[in-house]
Chain A
């Protein structure tokens, strides 16, 4: 496990711990389709598994598809319900572009998600954005199927 992965794991664990407290107070959960009830409601895992933490983009695009808007609608409902979280939206690009432009393209994607969530009522002060350009791929194969997974914006829960 790399240092980065470890850090992410630790942060995830911290978020989960925090959520267990929050979940004890929250009696109801937002309406989510296909909810996996083995996951603690209001937890970081709940957000990833039952809501979906990421949306994907077409090549060189930052516009939100119907599928992406569906995910973000669920994110907005969940975040409205669990108001103790702030979030960081990480924008990414695939490796089939040049470095500087991809940094800006990732920022543009993160910004598109931010604007959508704000329009859905999420307080802008809860949202930070960052772009990693093409520097943080999740899929490393050399095929369009991998590149499309890397063109993404990921909503990361920050706790307070």
Chain B
């Protein structure tokens, strides 16, 4: 993200436009004039190591004028919470700040910030505009160099305040880690309520931090395994509408739903191709499940596998050339990689236990999976050539990993035992550290991350 994304300030940005594309909001970014000259940044977080020591950072409570005072404080709190949850930053308690009452125009007393051990500082102001919008400005400071690293300004409507906070978090994260952030994203998942033997399952969507939960279906029909389109506000998932389990496409903006294809049997385990133009899925016929590809434009379907086995959970490599999937063709569930046309399938998992639900990292270098061994359910990663297997978390029941759009974090669900038990959505860093539960109103499973909303 550059300092100046475009010069279209004061553009009215409705929530609907925002939902469609963050450009409405990001386009309103203008650079805030640097108080000091930009120079080489001295601080940088090296996140290539296994266990990262979180960077101490101070987020000075944002200043608000008039009606926006509460909101200003809330925005800086969400920024601090985002950075903390990433595990890469350690926000310093506001009570420890020596320099108080800052706004975006205040020059930091860097010595005061060094004294409390802060390496970076975020300051900001929120102001009400005459047209009802809010103007948000923030700066990121390098405390040791005494320099401004970022200064940005946004205009948006007040109801977008959480997205505003996430966009600021992404800018800070990217500037300090060198990787794209993932805070301005959503997660689609299955909301689960009611007793274990009569669960009501609803398609739901939330911000990546668990805020703003919305229900996309009413719970009349069983729904499972939603997956986000990498390019649009669409979800593909499995629904038992009319007692006929099939793969559906759902438009989040319009609420429109359509069945994908006219297959002679149950279809399930759908996932988009990286360009969003195709959906790959399983078709059940008799005892066997095989993989099919459906072109969303031409509606043409292509059969990719033809085995007397269960082939399921397909996932494309980010370049679209290969597909990883699970199959029990060799006797137990294992991971296979094949060409996107279905040729050249090769088994890549050889450890003890069963491997399932593979999903290719958006970076391309790793495949995440669920592994079941001796009654333990694990989330792990393996290289596409089958080498370098690493288990990130293990326990009674962990299942169904999905990647953050920057390939840094995995979300999955963890189920608990017994009648009162149920699944919750968790995240874990690629290193295996920093496990975090995502608070949801009910039980929740099958999380799938949206792309970054820019």
Contact = CB atoms under 8 A, between A and B. Distances in A.
A96 B375 contact: yes
Interface string B362-402: 00000000101001000000000000000000000101100
A100 B400 CA distance: 9
Interface in A92-134: 95-101, 103-105, 107-108, 111-112, 130-133
A139 B284 CA distance: 26
B225 interface: yes
A135 B419 contact: no
Given A99-B400, A99-B446, A138 B372 contact: no
A38 B445 CA distance: 45
B171 interface: no
B287 A112 contact: yes
A132 to B, nearest CB: 7
A98 B372 contact: yes
A2 interface: yes
Interface string B399-428: 110000000000000010111010000000
Given A105-B310, A142-B418, A5 B198 contact: yes
Given A101-B333, A108-B310, A132 B222 contact: yes
Interface residues on B, range: 35 or more
A2 B197 CA distance: 10
B176 to A, nearest CB: 37
B357 interface: yes
Contacts, number: 97
B450 interface: no
A152 to B, nearest CB: 13
Given A62-B287, A130-B245, A131-B266, A100 B357 contact: yes
Interface centre among A100, A103, A108 (most CB of B within 10 A): A100
Interface in B323-363: 326, 328, 332-333, 356-357
Nearest to A2: B198
B372 A97 contact: yes
A6 B312 CA distance: 34
B269 interface: yes
Given A4-B198, A140-B418, A141-B419, A101 B222 contact: no
Contacts of B313: 98, 100-101
Contacts of A98: 313, 333, 356-357, 370, 372, 399-400
B245 A101 contact: no
B268 interface: yes
- The size class of the interface chain A forms with chain B is 20 to 34
B246 to A, nearest CB: 12
Contact of A135 (B222, B289, B370, B400): B222
Contacts of B117: none
B80 interface: no
A103 B196 CA distance: 18
B282 interface: yes
A137 interface: yes
B408 to A, nearest CB: 24
Contacts of A112: 287
Interface string A24-44: 000000000000000000000
B132 interface: no
Interface in A61-76: 62
A116 to B, nearest CB: 12
B197 A100 contact: no
B201 A100 contact: no
B201 to A, nearest CB: 7
B320 interface: no
Contacts of B222: 132, 135
B418 to A, nearest CB: 4
A62 B201 CA distance: 27
Interface string B307-320: 00010110000000
A141 B288 CA distance: 30
B197 A140 contact: yes
Contacts of B199: 135
Contacts of B225: 99-100
9 contacts: A95-B415, A100-B313, A103-B269, A104-B289, A112-B287, A135-B201, A135-B224, A138-B197, A140-B197
Given A103-B312, A108-B310, 20 more contacts: A4-B198, A95-B397, A96-B375, A99-B225, A99-B399, A99-B400, A100-B326, A100-B356, A100-B357, A103-B284, A107-B266, A107-B289, A111-B286, A130-B245, A131-B284, A133-B224, A135-B224, A140-B196, A140-B418, A142-B421
Interface of B: 194-199, 201, 222, 224-225, 238, 243, 245, 266, 268-269, 282, 284, 286-289, 310, 312-313, 326, 328, 332-333, 356-357, 370, 372, 375, 397, 399-400, 415, 417-419, 421, 445-446
Interface of A: 2, 4-5, 60, 62, 95-101, 103-105, 107-108, 111-112, 130-133, 135-142
**10 nearest interchain CB pairs?**
A142-B417, A104-B310, A140-B196, A100-B269, A142-B418, A98-B356, A2-B198, A104-B289, A140-B419, A108-B287
